[in-house]
Structure 1
């Protein structure tokens, strides 16, 4: 069975399983393979900061940069 086939089978199987303990065990195994930070959750304060910044951005009040501007700033700062 190919990796793609295994993934498809797992997706279908997990969709059908309602056993919380089993799903928690699978989640723990998968999380351990995803690396640090993959399952990180933001605190309520962090989420509020993001929401505030998003609202400012949508109102045109926040400053944003293009990817090229960011790269240029880093190059100038680090002398690259």
Structure 2
């Protein structure tokens, strides 16, 4: 039996998909769901960027943010660019 949170997450995703208008996003979601065996592999450059960011995070050189803080900052930035 699936947990209530898992069921809730599924319903939220379905709701978002229903309201999507961007064909590219829908095609991307479809490709993910249709290709379960595909595994994404990072390039060496991407791995290096990730390693550097990880080092900065653990050293305290760069702060970390919650997902809510990231969304708020992204919205602020977007709204400032629109103005």
Bin of the TM-score, shorter chain as denominator length? 0.3 to 0.5
Q: Normalized against structure 1, the TM-score is what?
A: 0.45
Q: TM-score, normalised by structure 2?
A: 0.43
